Amino acid sequence: MSLKPAIRRALSRFGYQIGEYRPFHEFLALRGIDLVLDVGANRGQYVDEIRAAGYGARVVSFEPQRRAFEEVARRAASDPHWDVMHLALGEKAGICRLNVYSDDRFSSIHDFQDNRGPQQTGVEICPMRTLDEVLPEIAGDAQRIFVKLDTQGSEREIIAGATAALDQVTGMLVELPLAPIYRDQPPMEDLIALLRARGFEPWHLRHVYIDEASKRSFEYDGIFFRR
């Protein structure tokens, strides 16, 4: 008798089942998501992932960095269910100062903790709004909204600007830093506690960034769903 069937039977007595691995983004189909807010789009890598996983419904991407926005807007033009906004989201409306780096995936309104990051190549001033302001304009008839936050240290501020909007959100994907790389970036445990306080429970984690030299994990992507 193999060990795995024995483990399955033992756990089933307590109401648990061992599931086979599913691709990270199958959660969208399992939860019937009909609108994804891709906050911190860069060049649209996240949309590539969810489209490859079979998600075909609406996406609205937000990208403040000019060159990245131009690229993601060009790509979205061929997808009738993908809209793009040249905009940062935050705690309050106004403008923000964006540090642009040679690897623009790291561009952020926050400074790096030290000099380990890529070289800074410039600063851009871009508009900022809150999710509370924007969501009524874009939600349409969406019933189950999923928010992906990959905003290089600004996740806490965006959540603070979504006091009403998060009540309409079914699930979230949030970048969780095990070892924060930006100044004033909250650590993983603080973000999890904040999301729990807003009614979301963690469902799944995956590694995002592992330092090859030390083998230390720096970031995870966490999926959360409303209780």
Token readout for 134 is: 């924007």
Residue 2 lies in a domain: no
Looking at residue 14, what is its pLDDT? 43
Q: What is the mean pLDDT of the chain?
A: 86
Tens of pLDDT, residue by residue over 150-167, are 998 899 999 999 999 999
**Range list of H helices, 53-174:** 66-76, 131-138, 155-160
Confidence of residue 9 (pLDDT cuts 50, 70, 90): low
Looking at residue 13, what is its pLDDT? 52
Asked if residues 48 and 63 have their Cβ atoms less than 8 Å apart, the reply is: no
Beta pairing class for 82-85 and 58-62: parallel
Of residues 4 and 173, more confidence is placed in 173
Confidence of residue 23 (pLDDT cuts 50, 70, 90): low
What's the first-to-final CA gap in the chain, in angstroms? 38
Q: How far is CA 209 from CA 107, 186, 193, 226, in A?
A: 16, 17, 22, 26
Residue 31 lies in a domain: yes
Residue 155 lies in a domain: yes
Tens of pLDDT, residue by residue over 78-109, are 999 999 999 999 999 999 998 888 887 888 88
For 29, the domain range is 21-93+130-226
Distance separating alpha carbons of residues 51 and 221, to the nearest angstrom: 18
Tens of pLDDT, residue by residue over 169-210, are 999 999 998 888 888 888 899 999 999 999 999 999 887 767
> pLDDT > 70: what percent of the chain?
87
For residue 78, the cross-strand partners are none
Instruction: Give me the number of domains the chain comprises.
Output: 1
Residue 6 lies in a domain: no
Residue 196 lies in a domain: yes
Does pLDDT of 7 surpass 90?
no
User: Residue 201 sits in a domain of what CATH number?
Assistant: 3.40.50.150
Residue 4 lies in a domain: no
DSSP three-state, residue 106:
helix
Residue 9 lies in a domain: no
Of residues 209 and 131, more confidence is placed in 131
Residue 82 lies in a domain: yes
